[in-house]
Structures are given as C-alpha cells and as structure tokens.
Amino acid sequence: MFDLTHLTDYGLLFLRLMSGAIFASSGYNDVKDPAARSQSIGIPKRLAILLGVAELAGGIGIILGVLQQLAALGLILIMLGAIQKKAFVWKTGFWGSDGLGWSYELTLISMLLVILFTNGGRLVLVP
C-alpha cells in the first residue's frame, strides 16, 4: 500500500518529543511542589523530590536525544514503581475508577520501550 519507512526517524522524534514532554512537565511539577506530591501518593517528601528530578532529567534527555536509552530505562523503572503502587497497594484495576488505573503508565512504558530499542532514531544530539 504505502511505504512510509523513510519517515521512521521523524516518527521516533515525535514520540521522543511527546513522551519527553510528559515526563519533563510531570517532574517539574513534582519538584515545584514536592510536599503536595508526596502527600498525594503517600511517599516521603525527599523521595518525591528525587522522583521529580529523575522525571525532569529523563524527559529532557529523551527530548534532546542525549543518553536517551539510559533515560528511557530509568523512566521505565519509575513507571513500574507507579504500577506496583497502583495495582498492589491501592488495588486499582487496569482502567481504575475515573481513569485512574495503571493503563496510562503501561502506555508510557510502551513508548519508552520503543525509544530504548531504537535508541530514539537518528535525529538525536548524541547518537
């Protein structure tokens, strides 16, 4: 039908920009108000700061294409921790109530796996 494989690197760039923006903005919000974040998810404030900085740095790395595989791996671990909390501590189902299940985290992991396995494509700062 259509051969769009010549656009693969642009698709990977878009994927990196969108997933990186999600993590960078989430991390920024966590660092901006760590007390509120720690209270909302039931973790110590210092851990909320650490997670926020990791999300912010990982998101920026993915956007720029600098250590993108390492950033993707670290963010996958954070998302696995979020799934563990939602599924086993809070007993939230896949979809959850009001869309607060762990389907979102699994979707982000899927995006991060593509970045991890492809090194984010050829349109990166540090190949």
> What per-residue confidence (pLDDT) applies to 6?
95
Interior CA angle at 109 toward 113 and 116, to 5°?
Answer: 20
pLDDT digits (tens, 9 = 90+) for 51-76: 999 999 999 999 999 999 999 999 99
Of 12, 107, 22, 26, whose CA–CA distance to 69 is shortest?
12
Sequence-distant (≥ 6) Cβ neighbours of residue 50 within 8 angstroms? none
pLDDT digits (tens, 9 = 90+) for 74-91: 999 999 999 999 999 999
Judging by beta carbons within 10 Å of its beta carbon (0-12, 13-18, 19+), is residue 52 exposed, middle or buried? buried
